[in-house]
Amino acid sequence: MLYKHKNSAFKLSLLTSLVLSGHAIANDTQDDLPLEKIAVYGQHHKNYITEEAQSATKLGLTIKETPQSISVVSRALMDDFSLDDINAVLESTPGVTVEQIETDRTYFKARGFEITNFLIDGLGTPQSSGSIQGTLDTAIYDRVEIVRGANGMMTGAGNPSATVNMVLKKPTYTTQANASASYGSWNNKRVDIDVSAPINDEHAVRAVFTKQDKESYLDRYETDKTIAYLAYEGKLTNDTLLSINYVNQQKDADSPLWGALPLYYTDGSPTDYDESTSTAADWSYWDNSAERIYVTLEQNLSATWVAKARYAHIKNEQNSELFYVYGTPDKDTGLGLTGYASRYDYKDTQDLFDLYASGKFELFSLEHDLSFGISQANMDFNDQSLYDYSTGNGFPAMPDLATWDGIAPEATLVDKPNGSDVQNTQRSAYVSTRIKLAEPLSILAGVRYTDWETKGTAYDVVQTRDDSELIPYIGTVYDFTESLSAYASYTETFVPQKELDINAEQLAPVIGKSAEVGLKAQLLGEQVFVTLAYFDAKQDGLAVALPGSLPSDTRYYAADGINSDGFEIEVSGRLTDDLSASISFSNLSIDGDELVKDYTPENQLKMAATYQVPFIDGLTLGANYRWQDSISRVQVKDPAGNALVTTKQGAYGLLDLMATYEITQNVGVTFNVNNSTDEKYINSLYWAQGYYGAPRNYSLSVNWQL
């Protein structure tokens, strides 16, 4: 089994004062024709502003019209700084913390809570935890949308953290093609090919292929990744559009981390291994594969109404033999650790269906928006864990990690088979509307009813759950001018619980509540987008074990969970004719869980910018900087609860640099330097163990476009 282990009133009044005293801007948008396809060609000047995002509502609203914090990582930003996986993308996202706990498993957090909702083109289901195994490559995505806070209208279940929506590349109606080949530190080789072409005026296809093979700064760790993507789009009639998308991703990892390094010695002092030190055995592996099919049928009902039916079939598989190291080493000898071998196999399938209609209606001489629909998700997963309790090779005593070469006795992994067989069903019905009370003032309101049912067992624990929740959404937007608006919103989410109370009845779901107020502005001829937001989020009804409960029959009571509040500032877009940038600062205060508070950075600064050098035609320079303040984790306490051993990671910043030169209109070269200052840092203190981030590294790519 793969597991181990304020002042709010002042902040709110300050931001409200800013809202009420603001001057302003406006977005004079035209009515969207549902089947009109608009493609933008020519990427010689790249901009980091994106106005579109469909992850918060299904009302066809722009980011400025949506009363919630939304960040969009554009294709341009991903290309400039080689943000080739979702980890790298979210590291550049305001207010998101990437908890890289192992080489092939990562957790993501926002506003103090795990992110459990990951969507592709708006379709997906909440995960039981926020971890992503194997990492998700970004080669097939046009952009990544991140809605921070609770997102009850789109997902229903989940935490009041964020929703990540990865938007697939779409076929284009003019022929375009691009390719790149790169080589970097630790023998990192990658090829990307992206071709799109029309079949005729009404049908088009697109294909993306990526192959990456690389070693690592970590001892023995190697990966081999292949991604294939096919997309079709075509008009069946003048009013009917069909889209079909197929994704196949395979990532094979040799000698991956399961767990990480011990962070302190028996005397309480911190360990300080080389960045390359790994606890993975030379025979260990972790292979991940994913196959997905998406079908969308879009029907134009009138000039302002459209209906969409969407279906997705998703299959994920994992196969692995892993080696974990636990214990506390002696400072002088490095001894005292024990190895732990396990085989883990996992498979899940998901069938997702969503049907909705959206459009506009007139009332009191004003135009309003309405969307309503139903959805269902069927999710089955099973896994199995195997161990070696018989041969003596399953739990070997370890030598000093500082000198270990990865050679460990190969275990016979057949003992104590254990695992899960769980079925989840989620059914939802939802409606949302935007009512214009006056030309500058609009109200957004919605409700989503979700029924969640779980059956099965996981590691001998019954998983039966049956919950129904009605999730509200309310928001308002006031346009001071065409360019400046103020907004406020409140929404909820829920997470089903299997724990039983003192009367042996299932506890009600955990309710996540999220409130937010802010300002949004488009400046400099609508080339720059600015967002200022204050938020307050909390959990109600979290299961906590009753004191004195028997381990064999633990009972629980509902308690308050984490409460977080803070603010976020984001500026993105084209600042001058030559300078594009994305800049954000986030502040977060957490109450209710000291452990989470300690290992979550309170402040984060993230900046990415590219500058087209005016006196050297074709040369673009760029920098991507991420800074966070200090974090810590209490490792050992005395009986009175006082900290005896604490791991600390001081504040640090990572600076990536890039330079691109266009040799011709079609051919260019890009040189990237990551962690240019060679900062040594622990990736995460989410777990009691941790490992170091990559030291300074380089890559050179040759890029071609038609």
* pLDDT at residue 2, as a whole number: 42
Indicate the range of 102-111, 495-504, 671-680 predicted with least confidence.
495-504
pLDDT digits (tens, 9 = 90+) for 344-402: 999 999 999 999 999 999 988 899 999 999 999 999 989 999 999 999 899 999 999 99
Per the CB < 8 A criterion, the answer to whether 421 and 385 are in contact is no
Which parts of 255-336 are beta strand (E)? Answer: 285-300, 305-327
Domains of the chain: 8-705 (2.40.170.20)
Chain mean position to CA 371? 26
Distances (CA, A) of 205 to 229, 240, 248: 11, 17, 17
Once rounded to an integer, what is the mean pLDDT over residues 650-673? 96
Cβ-proximal residues to 319 (8 Å cutoff; 6+ apart), any chain:
286, 287, 344, 345
* pLDDT at residue 50, as a whole number: 58
The residue with tokens 């724990």 is: 499
Three-state SS string over 6-74 comes to CCHHHHHHHHHHHHHCCCCECCCCCCCCCCCCCCCCCCCCCCCCCCECCCCCCCCCECCCCCCCEEEEE
> For the chain, what percent of residues have pLDDT higher than 70?
90
Nearest to 514 by CA among 494, 496, 497, 485: 494
* pLDDT at residue 503, as a whole number: 80
pLDDT digits (tens, 9 = 90+) for 512-551: 899 999 999 999 888 899 999 999 999 888 888 887 766 6
- Provide the token pair at 180: 């790149």
pLDDT at 36 over 50: no
DSSP assigned state of 77: H
CA distance 150 to 159: 6
Per the CB < 8 A criterion, the answer to whether 71 and 570 are in contact is yes
* pLDDT at residue 552, as a whole number: 60
pLDDT digits (tens, 9 = 90+) for 522-532: 998 888 999 99
Per the CB < 8 A criterion, the answer to whether 323 and 284 are in contact is yes
Between 457 and 604, residue with greater pLDDT: 604
Once rounded to an integer, what is the mean pLDDT over residues 187-202? 97
pLDDT digits (tens, 9 = 90+) for 276-319: 999 999 999 999 999 999 999 999 999 999 999 999 999 999 99
pLDDT at 662 over 80: yes
* pLDDT at residue 551, as a whole number: 64
Given pLDDT bands bounded at 50, 70 and 90, which one contains residue 151? Answer: confident
Cβ-proximal residues to 253 (8 Å cutoff; 6+ apart), any chain:
103, 104, 134, 221, 222, 223, 285, 286, 287, 288
* pLDDT at residue 181, as a whole number: 97
pLDDT digits (tens, 9 = 90+) for 574-609: 999 999 999 999 999 999 999 999 999 999 999 999
Q: How is 83-114 classified by DSSP, letter by letter?
A: --BHHHHHHTSTTEEEEE-SSSEEEEEETTEE
* pLDDT at residue 399, as a whole number: 96
Per the CB < 8 A criterion, the answer to whether 128 and 117 are in contact is no
DSSP assigned state of 331: T
Per the CB < 8 A criterion, the answer to whether 179 and 208 are in contact is no
Where residue 186 falls (left for φ over 0; alpha for ψ -120 to 50; beta otherwise) is left
pLDDT at 126 over 50: yes
* pLDDT at residue 25, as a whole number: 30
* pLDDT at residue 272, as a whole number: 95
Per the CB < 8 A criterion, the answer to whether 586 and 604 are in contact is yes
pLDDT digits (tens, 9 = 90+) for 414-428: 998 888 898 989 999
pLDDT at 143 over 60: yes
Once rounded to an integer, what is the mean pLDDT over residues 96-105? 93
* pLDDT at residue 16, as a whole number: 35
- Provide the token pair at 87: 């980890």
> 10-21 burial by CB neighbour count: b if 16+ within 10 A, else e?
ebbeebeeebee
Burial class (CB in 10 A: 0-12, 13-18, 19+), 5: exposed
> For the chain, what percent of residues have pLDDT higher than 90?
70
Exposure on the CB side of residue 507, measured as CA atoms within 13 A: 26
- Provide the token pair at 35: 């089947």
CA distance 392 to 553: 33
Q: How many helices (H) and strands (E) does the chain have?
A: 4, 35
**In 3-state terms, what secondary structure has residue 1?**
coil
pLDDT at 256 over 70: yes
pLDDT digits (tens, 9 = 90+) for 49-88: 555 566 556 778 888 888 999 999 989 889 989 999 999 9
pLDDT at 43 over 50: no
Q: What value does the mean pLDDT of the chain take? A: 88
* pLDDT at residue 418, as a whole number: 85
* pLDDT at residue 30, as a whole number: 35
Given pLDDT bands bounded at 50, 70 and 90, which one contains residue 241? Answer: very high
Q: Phi and psi (nearest 5°) for 169? A: -65, 140
Per the CB < 8 A criterion, the answer to whether 382 and 421 are in contact is yes
> pTM value?
0.88
Indicate the range of 3-17, 206-220, 309-323 predicted with least confidence.
3-17
Once rounded to an integer, what is the mean pLDDT over residues 6-29? 35
Given pLDDT bands bounded at 50, 70 and 90, which one contains residue 558? Answer: confident
Given pLDDT bands bounded at 50, 70 and 90, which one contains residue 459? Answer: confident
* pLDDT at residue 40, as a whole number: 30
Nearest to 465 by CA among 511, 512, 505: 505
